[in-house]
Structure 1
Amino acid sequence: MRWRSDSTWEPVVAASRRSAVYLDDEAAELCRLNGAHERLVATEAKLFPLNGKGDASGLLSTCVLVCARFVAVKHLESACLTLSSSTHSRCLLFTTTSEELLAASEIPCENYDEVGAELEQALRRTRRDKETRVRAEVHQFTACAAPINSDLFLMPAFHDLPLLWPGDESRFGDVSSMSVLPEKWQTDLRIFVSMLNSLFGDLDVNEDCYSVGHTSRLIAMELANLPAAKARRKTTSNKASLVLIDRTLDMVGCASHLSDCLADRIVGLLPKFHSHSSDVAINMSPMFSANVSYSTDALAPGTLYHGNSQIAQSLLRSFISLREKEAVMEVSRLLLDAMAKERIPVEVERVTRMTVDRLKGFVRKFSSEPEAFLKHSALLECSLAAINTLECQETSHWERLLATEKGLLLGVLEESGGSDSPLSQLCSLVQSDKQMRHLTAKDVLVLCIFLYSLLPEEKRGTLSDEEKLKKALVLSIQTWHSDEQKRFVGSCSSLREKIEEVFSTCRAFGNARAHLKQLKNLFIPRGPDRRNVYVPLVKQVVEASVDPSKPDVSDIAYQSHGLRDYLKTSLTFGFSKFMNVGKSHPGNHRLLFVFVVGGVTLGELKQIRETASKTNIEVVVGSNRILSPRDVYEDLVIGERHVLA
């Protein structure tokens, strides 16, 4: 798949020469993932966050504001606060919001000219320099996707895209149309659809739309019938299939530690990069002498994703596809190759196992070679991601959680009638480890989401088991610091009410696949001994989509674009016999896009790659974020997204 992310940033780059460029958090992440920040710096632009905390570039005549999602009142307020002490005479605002969608946004404007006038008035009211008049212009740019690998892209501006949770049908009634959703949700989803349309326009693709799940169906329907998308499809013959899948149908992969993928550990153990939704912050200090200490303020962190570096993409692919030992050996090989190219002397010994200390020794060779360091910075950052992870103190805790998950499932897999239920085992673990040295209450809550999403009700345990676990968790959380307790309880009136709410969420995810037929089970017999193993829903969908026999899976719903497509789904009436119309199936085309709405794990990407490698269909995975177990805790346990605004 050839990506054209460079061209989408061209209008911003062209306008930013010797200017002050302010980016909101989503634009900053997208800019860095696409490599556009290097091109902006090359234009002598100065980059700043659009956060309303003052201005450091008032001497420059032009400022550029970049909003990667949509124009909102908060952007105008941030712009006014940020530029209040500046003397800019020209202000350019770039937004992904099309003029057609302005009417649905928070700003009561119908076109870009009106938004520009609104911005001019706001700046005139708040700026200290009343004499210099500001001329504001608004432009659209279509930068929405960031290629991480040739078969993986992210849309980080939509990391918090609203999702229909299991049971929301009872709140909204009929969820076959966006019109039943809150206005804010409708706006977010329509802007997302608009960006998907822009993405496929940049890729010159004519897509057939399929969906699995309620949110995905709404998105697929909107995209299939979007007038701009219909017009685009008429001008291109590069056919592809797009399958959208709801993350909420399978929370197992993102809540568990079962993956043997080093990339999953990197994402799960290293801290998040500031204000980014998917990338991690890599500690660069191992590059330098162990005798010298550096503050986090003085030493900028590295990042994992480098969309414009082929060698970094290759190493990330190894982190995803290879086992930990093999991935570490690949890091060593690439570092040795880089040192050989730069003629950096190094003693090479034959070793069967590469240690962290040896890797750090290789990396430190670049600290005294500035040119080599800059040239191979992406490789060094990814290498240090592996080093940071292998040295992380939380690794042993990750291993304990992995062992706990396997132990909980062992009795279920063996169908042993005498063993305690998973919920009963969890309760015993909490009660026996009152100091929570090995298993914290946070871990147990994420494990609950893991179990409820994976197992049918009769396999989890009884209501009595659930009630005992709730009481044990209340007692454990009562030992937390008061500030941490307040954060956990949130808007609930009591700790007990919050625990009830979390278990209500767990039960909802346990029933998420109740409406599915062929894709209802995540435990499937596999292998020569036909043992039940966990198979991610996204992998099952990909397997059905690339199967040469093209099985009929009714759970993968097709969204028609017009009369001809409607006839494909009207086989019972026999119309297709007269029009040479084949039945719709995701495997009809050589290119398949699989977009997981709500986040994907790198371990799931590994399994998709393994499936795709056995076919002649190219599979490209997309999502709005990369997930880890800590995201599950923050979003589903602490977060309150189910509360409708």
Structure 2
Amino acid sequence: RALVGDLDALFTALGLREESFAVGALSRVIAAELASCAPARNRRRTATNKASVIFVDRTLDLVGAVGHHGDNLAEKVLSVLPKLPGHKTDVMVNMVELTALQTTDETCSIIAPGCLAQPNDPAAKALWESFMNLKQKEAVMEARRHLVEAASRENLPIKMSMGRVTPEQLSSYIQLFRNNLKALENHCGLLQLVLAAVQTLKHPQTSKWDNFLAFERLLLQTIGESEMPSVLNQLLPMIKSYNKRTKYDYTFEDFLVLLVYMYSVVGEIKSGKELDAAEEEVKKALVKAINDEPQLSPLLQKITGCDSPLNLTSQKATDAVDSIFRSLRDIARARMHMKQFNSIHNPGSNTHQASYKPLLKQVVEEICNPDRPDPVDIEHMSSGLTDLLKTGFSMFMKVNRPHPGDHPLLIIFMVGGVTISEVKMVKDLVATRKPGTQVIVLSSTLLTPHSAIELLFATDRLQPDTDI
């Protein structure tokens, strides 16, 4: 109800008269509440701007939340840099490089951190747009161009070099601003964003990003050719205890990301002794890995309920892993009631590789379909007697039922979080398929692979985080 109240306030400010649609069980509850709540009904009587609002359940497609698809620098920045204290989305940018302080200690807190939000700096805002909308290679070239322009404006001795942009090259350009207080003040916002890019590109987790991407592509091929037990057995040798892991091996959190990817992409699984046995082996390996950890990460502390390895027992680790696998089975069943959007896996053929087809993309393509078929899984939520009569009469005679593509404004609300790649995908799809339609993507949070895992396995549903 709090969410519906907030949406109603937003729609009042925009002067909207919306039609509500839902994809998924929780979305249906929210859309029905918005359709029937008294303030929203009063607003719709007088508002003039028509819009379609489609609520989509995140749990129907968690591959989009935990996958490493997309060559997007903004997504990597948000995934690898530490969160800015007191913020849900913004990150901390280490500013030591712009000072005379010589330290390699990343935990040094003498210098206040920078951040991504730079509303008063047009160059920084333009660069952040580039990070979100361009490929990584093009985005770092934009970062270099902005730095060169800023340095030229301040008459700094910059040597322009062509070719591939490296983090070291960007760092050397940043150093030019260090001893010039006026230049530093004029371009502080831009420098924070370029530093964020440099620190992301140098971060060890970024090199893992490509490993994840390669393994996820392999999973898509394997899932098309093999049953789930066989896929789980391939995962087993990769689960290593702390003492045997190198910096290139996957951690416990990384395996949770891969497991969610697997169970969400494969959909409903045939239960049986073979699957139970394969899951049991993976569970044992994960329990051993947890018990061997010298320090519990914040996520492991939340999952196991223990703040230190000294308090962790084998039983507690087993219970935590059992609970995770119960949730994974639920994730696999999430689309079983869907008729049209029941698969997000394209098994491929002799000529095409297996691929992931995002549920959100399928929904938008259905909305923008020029043939305007009656959507099977996009359910219209009636807001009063007129809509109910329309629905009833349509069974006996030709009555045009509301369609999500009817209006010039399309608002998509992802219930449970959305990623930057998905927002860009929706924007590009609508611009191509239905030019002239304005699209707004809303959500409860901006997701990264590890934040999605925390929301799935380490959040107390009865004590929700109300400060989102």
Q: TM-score, normalised by structure 2?
A: 0.87
The answer to whether residue 245 in structure 2 is matched with residue 436 in structure 1 is yes
The answer to whether residue 76 in structure 2 is matched with residue 258 in structure 1 is no
Cross-structure match for 1:331: 143
Cα offset for 1:372? 4.0
1:610 equivalent among 420, 425, 428: 428
Residues 1:468 and 1:311: Cα distance change in structure 2 (over 3 Å): same
Cα offset for 1:325? 1.0
Cross-structure match for 1:297: 109
1:622 equivalent among 435, 442, 447: 442
Cross-structure match for 1:23: none
Cross-structure match for 1:532: 354
Aligned partner letter, 2:446: I
- Superposed CA deviations along residues 495-532 of structure 1, whole A, max 9, x for unmatched, are 21111100000110110111111111111378995543
2:417 equivalent among 574, 599, 608: 599
Cross-structure match for 2:332: 510
Aligned partner letter, 1:240: A
Aligned partner letter, 1:541: V
Cross-structure match for 2:45: 234
1:379 equivalent among 190, 193, 197: 190
Cross-structure match for 1:543: 365
Q: Is the 8 A contact 2:220 2:345 kept in 1?
A: no
Corresponding residue SS for 1:443: helix
Residues 1:584 and 1:253: Cα distance change in structure 2 (over 3 Å): same
Cross-structure match for 1:588: 406
Residues 1:547 and 1:375: Cα distance change in structure 2 (over 3 Å): farther
Question: Root-mean-square deviation (CA), in Å?
Answer: 3.0
Matches within 5 A, 1:131-530: 190-288=1-99, 291=102, 296-307=108-119, 309-340=121-152, 342-413=153-224, 415=225, 421-430=230-239, 435-437=244-246, 438-458=249-269, 462-481=275-294, 487-490=302-305, 494-524=316-346, 529-530=351-352
Q: With a CA cutoff of 8 Å and minimum separation of 6, indicate the structure with the bigger relative contact order.
A: 2
- Superposed CA deviations along residues 363-416 of structure 1, whole A, max 9, x for unmatched, are 333334444434433322222221110111222233333333233333234x26
Corresponding residue SS for 1:558: strand
CA distance in 1: counterparts of 2:291 and 2:357, whole angstroms: 37
Aligned partner letter, 1:467: E
Q: Is the 8 A contact 1:519 1:537 kept in 2?
A: yes
Corresponding residue SS for 1:513: coil
Q: Is the 8 A contact 1:513 1:520 kept in 2?
A: yes
Cross-structure match for 1:186: none
Stretch of structure 1 that moved more, 196-205 or 475-484: 475-484
CA distance in 1: counterparts of 2:165 and 2:295, whole angstroms: 45
Cα offset for 1:590? 1.5
CA distance in 2: counterparts of 1:527 and 1:374, whole angstroms: 57
CA distance in 2: counterparts of 1:568 and 1:208, whole angstroms: 14
CA distance in 1: counterparts of 2:287 and 2:150, whole angstroms: 54
Residues 1:595 and 1:476: Cα distance change in structure 2 (over 3 Å): same
Cα offset for 1:197? 0.6
Aligned partner letter, 1:622: L
Matches within 5 A, 1:550-561: 550-561=372-383
Aligned partner letter, 2:431: S
Q: Is the 8 A contact 1:568 1:576 kept in 2?
A: no
Residues 1:201 and 1:457: Cα distance change in structure 2 (over 3 Å): closer
Corresponding residue SS for 2:18: strand
CA distance in 1: counterparts of 2:15 and 2:285, whole angstroms: 56
Residues 1:568 and 1:488: Cα distance change in structure 2 (over 3 Å): same
Residues 1:228 and 1:348: Cα distance change in structure 2 (over 3 Å): same
CA distance in 1: counterparts of 2:192 and 2:349, whole angstroms: 38
Aligned partner letter, 1:488: I
> What is the aligned residue count?
449
Stretch of structure 1 that moved more, 380-389 or 501-510: 380-389
Cα offset for 1:270? 0.8
Aligned partner letter, 1:637: F
Cross-structure match for 1:25: none
Aligned partner letter, 2:111: L
Q: Is the 8 A contact 1:216 1:245 kept in 2?
A: yes
Cross-structure match for 1:631: 451
Residues 1:235 and 1:526: Cα distance change in structure 2 (over 3 Å): farther
Q: Is the 8 A contact 1:287 1:360 kept in 2?
A: no
Residues 1:389 and 1:644: Cα distance change in structure 2 (over 3 Å): closer
Residues 1:613 and 1:362: Cα distance change in structure 2 (over 3 Å): farther
Instruction: State, as a whole percentage, how many aligned pairs show the same letter.
Output: 35
Matches within 5 A, 1:69-108: none
CA distance in 2: counterparts of 1:443 and 1:587, whole angstroms: 39
CA distance in 2: counterparts of 1:528 and 1:377, whole angstroms: 53
CA distance in 2: counterparts of 1:412 and 1:293, whole angstroms: 44
Corresponding residue SS for 1:304: coil
Aligned partner letter, 1:625: T
Cα offset for 1:269? 0.7
Cα offset for 1:289? 5.0
Matches within 5 A, 1:40-119: none
Q: Is the 8 A contact 1:594 1:620 kept in 2?
A: yes
Q: Is the 8 A contact 2:229 2:275 kept in 1?
A: no
Q: Is the 8 A contact 1:263 1:603 kept in 2?
A: no
Residues 1:195 and 1:510: Cα distance change in structure 2 (over 3 Å): same
CA distance in 1: counterparts of 2:319 and 2:49, whole angstroms: 53
CA distance in 2: counterparts of 1:569 and 1:372, whole angstroms: 64
Q: Is the 8 A contact 1:216 1:597 kept in 2?
A: yes
